[in-house]
Amino acid sequence: MSDHNYCIILAGGVGARFWPLSRESRPKQFIKTHEDSDSFVQRAYKRAVKLFDPDRIYIVTLSRYQELLREQLPLVDDAHIILEPYGRNTAPAILHSAYVLLKKDPDAIMSIFPADHAIGKELIFIKTVQKAQEYVREHDVLLTLGIVPERPDTNFGYVQVSGGTYGGDPVKAKTFTEKPGKELAQVFIDSGEFLWNSGIFFWKAGLIVSEMEKLCPEITMLWRGWEKKRTPQSFVRFVERAYTESPKISIDYAVLEKSDKVWVLPSKFGWDDLGSFEAFSDYVYRATRTRKVHSLAGPSILKDLEGDILYNSDPHKLVVINGLKDYLVINTDDVLLICPKDDATLQSTISELSTPKLKGFK
């Protein structure tokens, strides 16, 4: 195993599709679905330490979440927390991380994991990651894990590959499609040429920087001279200016859909991207074969329910629900949400939060 492997955990999003559990003050990666469970970022870190020494693990998050991260991961040194002044999606975050690693190790190899993924078969996952790391050590490629699809899921992006999806070695990427409709997703599955785009990446830090310089110079030009910043304070000021002017763009759109160096490792380890309540509910059903997701702190009377997600944070409030199907009922200290659980309806419902009178509830 290479001595140049480093882990980057992306934990900077605001998790708007998990509102009102996920808030601007405490976003999804820091919430716990049950009182005795780990948060998303805690789970991601526990997986990472099975693959990397703690001094090789870095976590990217927004500056305003630094204290939350310290609270949940107190053993992580501040030097291993990469702070973003503003959320600008994954491309600026990954470039920032690459520069941090290059300053430490010019031969750094990046393994990049979003914080909000569920991994089913951890031993297979570990072996897959090790195989991916070895491949990018030997090849100048941008490698992503492509999940062999189990169903025509419309919550995920898809990547088309050359040479089929069921071999054990990396294959070249052809096209990317973001969240197709049901019919198109079924066409993808039937073709045998498409994998779910996991958002888990592996590459040399120097290679991703050179590809970004070529394919998205509007971002990299903002970082010119970064290596000349000699003090932590001057580097923080530099980062602030770079993020202020940076576009919001994912690494997929900025680089992967344009680069001819993208390869995909077909993978099977029980993966889910828990990006919304709807996706979370589907994941729980596949894992437990029950459509009931309950986390109720107090007493409850529940009858004739199907496919609902119920959450109550108040141990002194009795929850009584009868005859509800595929709904969210979320009770927090300051918000009560009752809404169909599909993502489109939820986003339409909470769009009013952008109005000035409701901004305090975001």
Closest C-alpha among 225, 214, 211, 221 to residue 247: 221
CB atoms inside a 10 Å sphere around CB 227: 11
For residue 35, what pLDDT is reported? Answer: 60
Amino acid sitting at position 187: V
Q: Where are the alpha helices (DSSP H) in the chain?
A: 40-48, 66-72, 90-104, 122-138, 182-191, 205-215, 217-220, 232-245, 251, 277-288, 343-349
DSSP H/E element including 201: strand 194-204
Residue 325, strand partner residues: 306
For residue 202, what pLDDT is reported? Answer: 98
CATH superfamily of 5-275: Spore Coat Polysaccharide Biosynthesis Protein SpsA; Chain A (3.90.550.10)
For residue 1, what pLDDT is reported? Answer: 47
- Domain residue ranges in the chain: 5-275, 278-361
For residue 33, what pLDDT is reported? Answer: 66
Strand 300-303 to strand 319-322: parallel, antiparallel, or no bridges (unpaired)? parallel
Instruction: Give the DSSP letter of residue 186.
Output: H
The DSSP annotation for 19-64 comes to: TTTSBTTB-GGG--SSTTSPPHHHHHHHHHTTTS-GGGEEEEEEGG
The DSSP annotation for 110-136 comes to: EEEEETTEEES-HHHHHHHHHHHHHHH
Apex CA 247: angle with CA 243 and CA 252, to 5°? 115
Task: Give pLDDT < 50 ranges for the chain.
Answer: 1
Q: Which residue has the tokens 């099975």?
A: 50
